[in-house]
Amino acid sequence: MAAMALLLVSCGGSGSATGKQKQITLSAAGATFPQPFYNLAFKKFNEAGGPLINYGGIGSGGGIKSLRDQIVNFSATDAFLSDEEMAEMPGEVVHIPTCIGAVVIAYNLPGVTDLKLTPELLEGIFLGNINKWNDPKILASNPGLALPDMEITVVYRSDGSGTTFIFSDYMSKVSPAWNAQLGTGKALNWPAGIGAKGNPGVSGTISQSQGSIGYIGYEYAFAQKIPMAAVMNSAGFFIEPTLESFTAAADEEIPSDTRVMLTNSSNPAAYPITSFTWIIMYKELAYGKHSSEAAEAAVKTVRWLISEEAQAIATSVHYAALPQNASLQAEELLRGITYQGQTVLK
Amino acid sequence: MSGDRVTKALLFISSLTILLLSAGIVISLLGGALPAFKEFGVRFITSSVWNPTEGSEEYGAMAFIAGTVITSILALIICIPMAFSTSLFIAEYYNGTRTSRILRSLVDLLAGIPSIVYGFWGFYALRPLLVATGLTDQGFGVFTASLVLAIMIVPYATSLSAEIISMVPAELKEAAYSLGATRREVIFSVVIPSARSGIIASFILALGRALGETMAVTMLIGNANVIPKGLFAPGNTMASVIANQFGEASGLKMSALIAIGLLLFLITALVNYLGKLIIKRFA
Amino acid sequence: MTEINTALTDNIGRRNRTNVRFRYLVIAGAVITVIPIFLIVGSLAIKGFRQINLAFFTQPAPDTFQAMMAASTGDIIPGGIANGLTGSLLMVFLASLFAIPPGLMTGIYIYENSSQKYARFIRSLAEILQGVPSIILGIIAYIWIVKNITKGYSALAGSVSLAIMMLPLIIRSTEETMRMIPVSIREAAFALGTPYYKMIYKILIPVSFSGLATGVLLALSRILGETAPLMLTALGSPAISFDITKPVSAVPLLIWDFYNDPNMVSLVWSASLFLMVFVLSMNLLARSVASKHKYI
């Protein structure tokens, strides 16, 4: 029995180069938000001769930890590393934005599909100050809408998440009360409502509970056909969540290391609760047991992700593509990645 | 008899696996939990504040301890009559019959369902049922979670109990019958006392499962980081908060979560010890 | 003489009635227990049946685009759970290798030395370990194996976390099963001069085989559905792989992936249905084998 076991596991051993194409295997971990897009893109790249990527959707935090422990080739995160987190890393880390996602406000109100919300309304609802749907403040922004006399049930994320981070970052920018009470973070001290696990948990809860409202990732609300509110952006327009409005939020000056939150963008066509999602990797890839072939494969994979072809794949599955300025910055950063001092991309 | 000595030594060495394992786990957990205890001291155990806001972080485990203890005990209480009657059915009344085999397989089915699926089922099927009864508003809360937990742990309590009950020697039972005892009397005066240790062990096994269950609970308990205010109010358990927050946690928060894990370890020990005391009382 | 007779026959009516009532109570309890089984299995069967075909077992998991296309045209989603299937089997096999021998032997040890304090202590340890949430064991395996041994996510780490989960279950059920063996059998063996190891191996184990099998089955059923520890150890993989030093997929991990992808939710039910049926078949098979070896 034991002998059979040993035989079986040695068969799968890596590096049995018999002259044919030796398949390189890379490990990556991180955010669940872009996972559907990444898995699809990795698969296409693999079919075209690229490496096999084992990606685990263990969350942005898990991805960051994995990178810090040097057990993956790269990670994915919805929130860029803070200066403290960068300092904790054993090496310099680069952030490569790969696509743009948005947090939408989903709700369940029988007969209502065109809800418009302002930052003040969001603050009131999520902080527990506005309790009923037919509150005059809500009616003021939604003239003519038949809002019922129903209790508002807030649904938030019970697990630490990038989605919460993006939403709270936006709210902290537009609401001093929010900033003081809850701040920005992946997990907050919510004053009211119920917590559900993961995007599916929140969207499932919202679809099952009348009168509920919560924040979820766009592709979730889209796929489950849950009504999404139009949110007033900084220019005063009520913007519906669409892929174009997300990309518009990135159409501005971004720093060279791409570490910026796109929330509350100044672009008048932008949906205000948007964010990049990044691949993070070490600038110097000779660490752990990673070979130069693995380094090259990793950089080429990430470069593929920001290429036109992959970005078209992204939009086909309802993720917003990078605007030109962002992809140019990303390319620049990739060109700076080295293996034992030598740049990987020739 | 050196062959004997070797065998005895081998058995002893194998007992070391679990010893070393437990020690290793406690040490690893202690290492991770120390920062939290240093920061909050005993207050960590008694306080029910859980504030992850940067700048004013404060963590206390009481809310989760309460949630864990309440849901597990409630689940066991709901489970005991079900498991007890089912195991008697399988191993006593209908022992050896086709019906018993079918029932046994059905109970095994329950054990094979992944805990996430219990969570889904509880969420999509059970919750609306409970809301319809009017007992609860949205259906999230201690009761829903305990109910699903009870169903989850039934196979643990039943399976082993049934096995043990069926192993009660026939001579003992027949002796009682020959004295004129009814079936029920035989069960209560012979079968149960004889199988008592095994039956209780199976219930403790089931309780242990309930204490550590994560996925199903996390979908149904409402994830409110407070001590539950009532049977149908939301709350949170230790396993659930760890599963929810561990991925994104770092620093003090991570330490607090590991400390909760350590506390769960200790609570399980406490519950086991109390269980044994209770048994001794009634022995 | 007459007092004894009347004492026994006096309340015979009441005793009989209690007897019958109790019987009905037991039957009612069993029926109530069975109801959720049908409800859950029914939900799984109805929701998951569509997706199960040959491809389900032979193809790896689909990507979100394929799922999305299928959802929009109303077709069944292509692909299957082959990568999860092979990964699960690999890790469960290894976990069993790691956990069953020490588990059985420790259980026997505790039974043989049950009067000693040390043995009782070990038993308590097993009970406590049973209650540790699986995610903590995942964290432990992450620290011990992923960070320090394989220096990366791996099937080995996954197997270790699963093995730790199996161990206490096997220890406890082994010991309890052994306890039910009449002492006379054991004494008879010694009286005939059987060496210790032979007594265990040729008498104790075969006689308690059915109970031991129950314990092992319970442990296997438990770990086949575990997700949290595998997320931190095996990570997941789109490929069918048997390399224990690399990440690997597992059926519960796939269920988690399907759950998180808005286009693939219907696969959650199919994968769960499969898992449930698999565990059931495993139980049935093992029980039929064990019943052929039942001595008591």
User: How is chain B split into domains, by residue range?
Assistant: 58-282
Find tokens 């066991």 and name the residue. B76
A198 to C260: CB separation less than 8 angstroms, yes or no: yes
User: Which residue did the predictor score with more confidence, C290 or C226?
Assistant: C226
pLDDT given for residue A14 in this prediction = 39
Q: What is the dihedral of CA C260, C262, C267, C273, to 10 degrees?
A: 60
- How close C286 comes to chain B (CA, Å)? 11
Percent of chain A with pLDDT over 70: 93
Cα gap B97→B90, rounded to integer Å: 9
Cα gap A193→A154, rounded to integer Å: 4
B222 to A195: CB separation less than 8 angstroms, yes or no: yes
pLDDT digits (tens, 9 = 90+) for B97-111: 888 888 888 888 787
Helix axes A308-316, A292-306, angle to 10 degrees: 60
- A contacts of B54 (beta carbons < 8 Å): 183-185
pLDDT digits (tens, 9 = 90+) for A118-174: 999 999 999 989 999 989 999 898 888 888 888 899 999 887 788 899 999 999 999
Taking residues C100-107, report their average pLDDT.
92
Cα gap B254→A65, rounded to integer Å: 12
pTM of this prediction? 0.81
A189 to B247: CB separation less than 8 angstroms, yes or no: no
Whether B220 shows a pLDDT value over 90: the answer reads no
Cα gap A198→B110, rounded to integer Å: 25
Cα gap A135→A141, rounded to integer Å: 11
User: Which residue did the predictor score with more confidence, A212 or C53?
Assistant: A212
Percent of chain C with pLDDT over 70: 95
Assign B60 to helix, strand or coil.
Answer: coil
A194, A202, A212: which to substitute to probe chain B, counting the most B Cβ within 10 Å? A194
Cα gap B70→C263, rounded to integer Å: 37
Whether A89 shows a pLDDT value over 50: the answer reads yes
Q: How would residue B83 be classed by pLDDT, with cut points 50, 70 and 90?
A: very high
C65 to A313: CB separation less than 8 angstroms, yes or no: yes
Taking residues A303-310, report their average pLDDT.
91
- C contacts of A62 (beta carbons < 8 Å): 231-232
Six token digits for residue B65: 């301890």
Task: Name subunits touching C (3+ CB pairs < 8 A).
Answer: A, B
| Contact assessment for residue C129 and residue C167, using Cβ atoms and an 8 Å cutoff | yes
Taking residues A61-76, report their average pLDDT.
89
List own/partner pairs for B226-229 with CB under 8 A and 24 or more apart.
Answer: B226/B48, B226/B63, B227/B48, B227/B62, B227/B63, B227/B66, B227/B67, B228/B66, B228/B67, B228/B70, B228/B141, B228/B142
Q: What is the largest CA-CA distance in chain C?
A: 87
Instruction: Give Cα separations from A35 to A279, C265, C266 (angstroms).
Output: 12, 15, 18
Which of B142, B248, B153 has its CA nearest to residue B204?
Answer: B153
Alpha helices in B41-141 (DSSP H): 43-46, 62-88, 98-112, 115-121, 127-133
pLDDT digits (tens, 9 = 90+) for C141-195: 888 888 888 888 889 999 999 999 999 989 988 888 888 888 888 888 888 888 8
Find tokens 């060495």 and name the residue. B13
Question: Is the dihedral angle over the CA atoms B267, B269, B271, B273 positive or is it negative?
Answer: negative
Percent of chain A with pLDDT over 90: 35
To the question of domain B58-282 being in CATH 1.10.3720.10, the answer is yes
Which of A61, C217, A208 has its CA nearest to residue B112?
Answer: C217
A201 to B219: CB separation less than 8 angstroms, yes or no: yes
Which of C37, A168, C295, A196 has its CA nearest to residue B121?
Answer: C37
Lowest mean pLDDT among A132-141, A204-213, B130-139, B231-240: B130-139
Task: Name subunits touching B (3+ CB pairs < 8 A).
Answer: A, C
pLDDT digits (tens, 9 = 90+) for B6-55: 888 888 888 898 999 999 998 988 988 888 888 888 888 888 888 877 77
| Contact assessment for residue C89 and residue C197, using Cβ atoms and an 8 Å cutoff | no
pLDDT given for residue A8 in this prediction = 43
Judge whether B52 is closer than 8 Å to chain A, CB to CB.
Answer: yes
Task: Name subunits touching A (3+ CB pairs < 8 A).
Answer: B, C
- C contacts of B212 (beta carbons < 8 Å): 130-134
pLDDT given for residue B50 in this prediction = 84
Find tokens 């995160």 and name the residue. A77
Cα gap A158→B66, rounded to integer Å: 18
A209 to B138: CB separation less than 8 angstroms, yes or no: yes
Judge whether B180 is closer than 8 Å to chain A, CB to CB.
Answer: no
Chain B nearest-CA residue for A151: B137
B13, B15, B80: which to substitute to probe chain C, counting the most C Cβ within 10 Å? B15
Taking residues B133-162, report their average pLDDT.
87
- C contacts of A29 (beta carbons < 8 Å): 153, 235
Six token digits for residue B134: 């009017």
- How close A190 comes to chain B (CA, Å)? 9
- A contacts of C247 (beta carbons < 8 Å): 27, 54, 56
- How close C221 comes to chain B (CA, Å)? 5
Six token digits for residue B200: 């209780």
Whether A266 shows a pLDDT value over 80: the answer reads yes
- How close B84 comes to chain A (CA, Å)? 34
Can you name the residues that pair with A117 across neighbouring β-strands?
A231
Residue C237, exposed/middle/buried by CB under 10 A (0-12, 13-18, 19+)?
A: buried
Whether B246 shows a pLDDT value over 70: the answer reads yes
Cα gap B252→B256, rounded to integer Å: 6
User: Which residue type, as a one-letter code, is found at position C129?
Assistant: L
H/E segment holding residue A29: strand A25-30
Taking residues A180-208, report their average pLDDT.
85
Lowest mean pLDDT among B1-5, B204-208, B270-274, C187-191: B1-5
B11 to C106: CB separation less than 8 angstroms, yes or no: yes
User: Which residue type, as a one-letter code, is found at position C122?
Assistant: I
Q: How far is CA B106 from the centre of its chain?
A: 21
Residue C140, exposed/middle/buried by CB under 10 A (0-12, 13-18, 19+)?
A: buried
Taking residues A9-29, report their average pLDDT.
57
Whether C105 shows a pLDDT value over 70: the answer reads yes
Cα gap A220→A210, rounded to integer Å: 18
Contacts of B129 (CB under 8 A, 6+ apart): none
H/E segment holding residue A106: strand A93-107
Please count the residue pairs, one from chain A and one from chain B, whose beta carbons lie less than 8 angstroms apart: 73
Report the mean per-residue pLDDT for chain A: 86
pLDDT given for residue A22 in this prediction = 63
C236 to A1: CB separation less than 8 angstroms, yes or no: no
| DSSP label of C246 | S
Residue C271, exposed/middle/buried by CB under 10 A (0-12, 13-18, 19+)?
A: buried
Cα gap A100→B27, rounded to integer Å: 43
| Contact assessment for residue A102 and residue A241, using Cβ atoms and an 8 Å cutoff | yes
Assign A103 to helix, strand or coil.
Answer: strand
- How close A268 comes to chain B (CA, Å)? 32
ipTM: 0.78
Taking residues B258-270, report their average pLDDT.
86
Whether C95 shows a pLDDT value over 90: the answer reads yes
- C contacts of A55 (beta carbons < 8 Å): 236, 238
